Amino acid sequence: MTHETNNAGDLLVRAGAVVFIIGALGTLATIAPLFLGSDPLPTAAYLVSMLMAVGFALALAGLLRSAQAASRK
């Protein structure tokens, strides 16, 4: 068995990926009614779409933290 060590920022990158995927699904759900000709979704669906940017920022912060930790070594 191998034990993987978590580098600085790994948790942020993983959390950012999860939040990004949730935002991407929200974006798909938001634009689907536009193509299907049905009524638009409520404002909450558009707010979920904004999670893509939040997830991207979290992952970027994790990458920067990992790079900073690697440069110290």
Report how far residue 50's alpha carbon sits from residue 69's, in angstroms, rounded to the nearest whole number. Answer: 29
Provide the CA 59 distance to its chain's centre, in angstroms.
Answer: 7
Q: What pLDDT, in 10s, does the model give residues 31-70?
A: 999 898 888 888 898 999 999 999 999 999 999 999 888 8
Q: What is the pLDDT of residue 4?
A: 54
Report how far residue 19's alpha carbon sits from residue 25's, in angstroms, rounded to the nearest whole number. Answer: 10
Q: What is the pLDDT of residue 1?
A: 47
Q: What pLDDT, in 10s, does the model give residues 4-41?
A: 557 778 999 999 999 999 999 999 999 999 898 888 88
**pTM strictly above 0.75:** yes
Is residue 37 left, alpha or beta, with left meaning phi > 0 and alpha meaning psi from -120 to 50? left
Interior angle at CA 36, CA 55 and CA 32, nearest 5 = 5
